[in-house]
Structure 1
Amino acid sequence: MSVISRDDLHKIFKNLDKNNNGRISIAELQNLLEGIGIQTTSEELEKLVGPNDLDYAEFLLFYDATIEPKMNADDGDLSKAFEVFDVDGDGFISCEELQMVLTKMGLWEKKSGQNCREMIDVYDKNLDGVLDFEEFKDMMSLPAAAAADDHERKS
């Protein structure tokens, strides 16, 4: 099960579609990736998505075929994702780092009332206030409800 819901994917798509034309260009996709610290060229992205802009349905197919399998693959791919969230490279994801990356991805709205601390607390097994790699792996693979139930039993 993916941590990123279809609603989240729709928010990401809308955030990427800066000109509101219902399509994501290679440049718009590249801006998102650079915003979360992934450097790539237009040519590399064209090899992945083709030369044409993506509409929402194509974006979902691209996500399902390329990104989703990698998120549920091996530790190497998860390690790369962890590095994106671990902005300062200290081996842990803090509340501030999580919020910063989610904001850049268009998944965090300050006015929404979301609490980053609560999000981390659900997966923070050792209660140190940050996520290590193992806790991050759980976050990427466990549904939030199951993790919250486990967290409640341990508290």
Structure 2
Amino acid sequence: MSPINSINLSRIFSKLDKNGDGHVSLDELKGFLDIIGIIASEEELELLVGKTSLDSIDFFLFYDAITKAYIKQSSYKHDDHRQNDFLENDLQKVFGVFDLNGDGFICCEELQSALSRLGLWDEQCGKDCMSMINVYDKNSDGKLDFEEFKDMMLAN
């Protein structure tokens, strides 16, 4: 899981705060988590965050906590084969978020749609959509297959 910068976190928070009240309800948070493939009930989320809604600071702290938990879980000493299986499974789930039509490829339109749903799309991104894909598109077909996507996600 790559850390998201504060600008993008603010954009995500604004997108999730559908009624503009400065708080993200657990229902709004659950909807976002469902989109990215993390299934949790509102009851589980309330137990986790201890509140029925999050202001922007709480949202940033929530993100920080789940990121640290994920990193800790990922660094837990499993044998290499098992750890690779976990990583592969996580990447397959994330790939599915982007591969909207399920054809096994991510095209420019799917990338734009997924980034829009996550609150990470803007006009500047739109101008660079194809170039973002081309960086990792090894076979130059204009789209990313899973292996190319995996290379992109694992690049440092």
Into which bin does the TM-score normalised by the smaller protein fall? 0.7 to 0.9
Q: Deviations over 1:60-94 (max 9, x none)?
A: 22223325737x95121121111111111121111
Tell me if 1:94 matches 2:104. no
Number of equivalenced pairs: 142
Q: RCO (CA 8 Å, sep 6+): is it higher in 1 or 2?
A: 1
Tell me if 1:85 matches 2:83. no
Identity %: 53
Which residue of 2 is the match for residue 9 of structure 1?
9
Q: Deviations over 1:122-152 (max 9, x none)?
A: 2212222111222222322325xxxxxxxxx
Structure 2 counterparts to residues 108-119 of structure 1, below 5 A: 108-110=121-123, 113-119=126-132
Judged with a 3 Å threshold, the aligned counterparts in structure 2 of structure 1 residues 10 and 47 are, in CA distance, closer, same or farther, namely same
Segments of 5+ residues of structure 1 without an aligned counterpart are 144-155
TM-score normalised by length of structure 2 = 0.73
TM-score normalised by length of structure 1 = 0.73
Distance 2:138 2:131 in 1: 13
Judged with a 3 Å threshold, the aligned counterparts in structure 2 of structure 1 residues 32 and 60 are, in CA distance, closer, same or farther, namely same
Judged with a 3 Å threshold, the aligned counterparts in structure 2 of structure 1 residues 128 and 48 are, in CA distance, closer, same or farther, namely farther
Deviating 4+ runs (over 6 angstroms) = none
Judged with a 3 Å threshold, the aligned counterparts in structure 2 of structure 1 residues 112 and 90 are, in CA distance, closer, same or farther, namely closer
Judged with a 3 Å threshold, the aligned counterparts in structure 2 of structure 1 residues 11 and 34 are, in CA distance, closer, same or farther, namely same
Judged with a 3 Å threshold, the aligned counterparts in structure 2 of structure 1 residues 112 and 2 are, in CA distance, closer, same or farther, namely closer
Structure 2 counterparts to residues 33-52 of structure 1, below 5 A: 33-34=33-34, 40-52=40-52
Segments of 5+ residues of structure 2 without an aligned counterpart are 75-86
Distance 2:48 2:139 in 1: 39
Structure 2 counterparts to residues 123-142 of structure 1, below 5 A: 123-142=136-155
- Secondary structure of 2:144's counterpart equals coil
Q: Superposition RMSD on alpha carbons, in Å?
A: 2.8
Judged with a 3 Å threshold, the aligned counterparts in structure 2 of structure 1 residues 64 and 37 are, in CA distance, closer, same or farther, namely closer
Judged with a 3 Å threshold, the aligned counterparts in structure 2 of structure 1 residues 47 and 9 are, in CA distance, closer, same or farther, namely same
